[in-house]
Structure 1
C-alpha cells in the first residue's frame, strides 16, 4: 500500500513530496475505523503550524480530507458499521496519508456521507465548508440582516462563505481577483449584492462598500490575506486589501475574521478598531481537530456541511479529480500556490 508524504526541506527550499510504502496494524484500536478511501482532498501543508504544535517527522503524511467506505470497525465503535459511506478530516498527528488505499481513523473524526453526495465533491470541499462555518458562525455570529464582505469570493473558501451567508439571509458583498472570477460571481446575483473588481489596480473598495451600505460599513469582513505594508510587495499580494482598508469598511460593532497568521496592527489601527468598538478574530481551521474540547460541536458542523452539499445549499466549484499517479506533481503545485485545491480519486 502506497501513500503520499512530505519530506520537509531546509527553511529556504520547497518541501519535497514522495510516494512511500505504508502498512496498517493487524488489529484496530477500540474506537478506530478502517476506511477504504475513495477520494482525498489536497490542501497546502502548514509546516510552521505543525512545528508549533510539536509535530516533527522526517515524513509528514499528506492528504487529510477523505471520503470512503468503512471496511472494519473496532470493538467499541458505536457510530458506524461495515459498508457505511463516511467522510471526515484526519487529525494533524495522524500517521496515515489520506492517499493510501485504506486508513485507520478514530470514529469521532468521521460523519456519514449522504447518498446523493459524491465522494469527490465531499473530499474536495469539506475543509472549505468547515472554514466557512468557523468564520461565520463560531467567530462572527452571523444573523439575518447582517452585511458581509467576503474577499476573493471566487475562491473555494470564499464561495462557501457566500453561499452559507445567503442561506441565512445575510447581504453579501464580495471582491473578484480575476476577470474569470468576476464573470462567475456576477452570475450569483441577486444573491450577491455587489461584486467589486480588485484585479484592475483600482482602490475603490472603501467608497464602493460605503456606497452599498449607506455610509455605515459592513458588519463582518472575511479576508483571504492582508497587505501590511504600502511598499513593494509580491504581485499576488497586491490583490489583497491593506489592513487599514479592512478596518475602514467595518461598521460600528463590526467583526473582522482574518486568515493572516502574522497580522500586525499599529496603534492607529487599534485606535480605529476601538472607536468602532469592532473586534478581530483569527481563523485557524485546525483548531477543531487539534483540541477535543468541542468534539460534539465539530461533528455537528461536519454533518450540517455534508447535508447542505447534498441538498444543493452549498455548491462548490467543481474540482476535476486527478489520478493517484499525478498526486506528487499536483501537490507541489498546491503547496506552491497556497490557495489552490485539488482532489485525487482512488
Structure 2
C-alpha cells in the first residue's frame, strides 16, 4: 500500500513523495488496526521533530485519521471490530495516515458518532484538541470573560471562537482580509439564530485600524482577559506584509487586562525586561501552545482522550462546524500537501481514501 512522506534534502528543502509501505505482521497488545476512510493534512513542523530527536529520512505525513476498526490487539478494551473511530497518529508514528490501513495505539483513538461524517471528523480533531488546550488547559476560560482570537477565520481560530462562545465568553477576532472579515461577521451559532458568534471583528488588513485601541474600546478600557495569537512580530523592522498580519508583542501586552492570559503559538518568543515589567504590573501570564504535549506524560492520557471525545461530541451536536475544503483524492495529496506546507490554503484539507 502507498502512503505520503516528507523528505528533507541536504539543502533543507521539503519534498513530499508517495511511496510504498507495509505494516508489521503482528499486532501489539494495545494496538488497533484501522481501515482509513479520510485523513487530514497539517503543516509538518520540521523544527519540532528535530528538537525532539525524531529526525528520519522519510517523515510520515497525515496524522489525523477517521476510519473503521478491522482488528484489535489481545488487551484492547475500548474498541472492537467494525467500530467507527477518529484519532491522531503520534509524532513518532512510522506509517503515514494516508495508507489504506494503519496500526495505532487504542489510547490515541475515540469512537466517532454515527452522525459525524468522515471528513468533518478528520478535519476537526486536531484543531479541536488545540482549541481545548488553549482555552481550557492553558487559559482556564470562564463565563463572562473576553477573548481575542487573532486570525479568527483560520481552521483553528474558527473552532476556538465556537468553543469560547459555547462557554459564554465574549469573543473578539481579527480578520486578515476583507473576505475573512465578511465570513466572521456572518458567523452564527446555528441556522436561524440572529446572535453573532463574534462580538466584534477587527480588520487588521486595514492599515488605519489600531488593534489595541479597538480592544480597549470594546472592553471599556479594561483590556481583554485572554489572547490567542497566530504568531507575533518580535521586531519593529519586519516587512510590511508581516506588519499587516501579525501584531507586535508590545500590542498584545498593551491590550491585556489585569490578570490576563496570553496564549502564544510563537515558539521563540523573546520578552525584554520592559515587557516582563508590564506583565508583572498586570499580574498577567504567558503560556506556550503546543498541542503535541499530550503524549509527553502518561498522567495526562485520560484527559487527552476526554478532550478528543468532547471534540467529536461537539461535532455531532453542531457546536463545532470546521472549515474543511472539498475532499481531495489520494493522487492530488502531494500537490495539496505542498500548498499546506507553504500555508497557502485557508481551509483544512482532507484526503478521501
The answer to whether TM tops 0.5 is: yes
Equivalent residue, structure 2, for 1:92: 91
Q: Aligned with 1:256: secondary structure?
A: strand
Equivalent residue runs for 1:38-53 within 5 Å:
38-53=37-52
Partner of 2:299: 293
**2-side partners of 1:318 and 1:8: how far apart?**
28
Query: What's the counterpart of residue 345 of structure 1?
Result: 352
1:160 counterpart residue number: 159
CA separation of 1:339/1:216 partners in 2, compared to 1, >3 Å: closer, same or farther? farther
1:290 and 1:345 map into 2 onto residues whose CA distance is: 30
Tell me the distance in 1 between the aligned counterparts of 2:270 and 2:132: 25
Give 2:57's aligned residue.
58
How far apart, in 2, do the equivalents of 1:339 and 1:233 lie? Answer: 21
Q: Closer, same or farther in 2 for the Cα pair 1:236/1:42, shift >3 Å?
A: farther
**Superposition map of 1:58-207 within 5 A:** 58-188=57-187, 190-207=196-213
Give 3-state SS (helix, strand or coil) of 2:119's partner.
helix
Contact in 1 for aligned 2:69/2:85 (Cα 8 Å): yes
Instruction: Determine whether 1:335 maps to 2:341.
Output: yes
| Contact map agreement 1:176 1:182 (CA 8 A) in 2 | yes
Instruction: Give SS of 1:166's match.
Output: helix
Give the superposition deviation at 1:316: 1.2
Kept in 2, the 8 Å contact 1:71–1:83? The answer is yes
Secondary structure of residue in 2 paired with 1:136 = helix
8 Å CA contact 1:226, 1:237 repeated in 2: no
Cα displacement (A) at 1:338 = 7.1
* Structure 2 unpaired stretches of 5+: 188-194
Mapped to 1, the partners of 2:244 and 2:199 lie a distance apart of 24
- Whether contact under 8 Å (2:122, 2:350) holds in the other structure is yes
SS in 1 for 2:174: strand
Q: Distance in 2 between matches of 1:93 and 1:267?
A: 38
The answer to which of 221-230 and 185-194 deviates more is 185-194
Q: 3-state DSSP class of the match of 1:221?
A: strand
- How much has 1:204 moved relative to structure 2? 1.1
SS of 1:280's equivalent in the other structure is: strand
Query: In the alignment, is the contact (CA less than 8 A) between 1:44 and 1:338 conserved in 2?
Result: no
Find 1:209's aligned residue among 208, 215, 229: 215
Distance in 2 (CA, whole Å) between partners of 1:236 and 1:41 is 27
TM-score (norm. length: structure 1) = 0.97
Q: Which residue of 2 aligns with 1:14?
A: 13
* Contact residue 124 and residue 319 of structure 1 kept, 8 A: no
Distance 1:167 1:216 in 2: 23
Query: 1:68: Cα distance to partner?
Result: 0.2
Distance 2:202 2:117 in 1: 33
Equivalent-residue separation in structure 2 for 1:339 and 1:259 (angstroms): 19
Match of 1:272 in 2: 278
CA gap 1:73/1:328 in 2 versus in 1, 3 angstroms: same
Residues 4 and 16 in structure 2, CA contact (< 8 A), matched pair in contact too: yes
SS in 2 for 1:105: strand
Q: Residue 339 of structure 2 contacts residue 345 of structure 2 at CA under 8 Å; is this kept in 1? A: no
Query: Which residue pairs with 2:191 in the alignment?
Result: none
Deviations 1:140-162 (A, max 9, x none): 00010111011011111111111
**In the comparison of the two structures, how many residue pairs are matched?**
345
The two structures, once aligned, show a CA RMSD in angstroms of 1.3
| Alpha-carbon contact 1:126-1:305 (below 8 Å) kept | yes
| Structure 2 Cα separation of the partners of residues 191 and 93 of structure 1 | 37
TM superposition shift of 1:290 = 3.7
Q: Is the 8 A contact 2:62 2:98 kept in 1?
A: yes
Distance 1:75 1:338 in 2: 44
Moved more, 332-341 or 196-205: 332-341
1:302 aligns to what?
A: 308
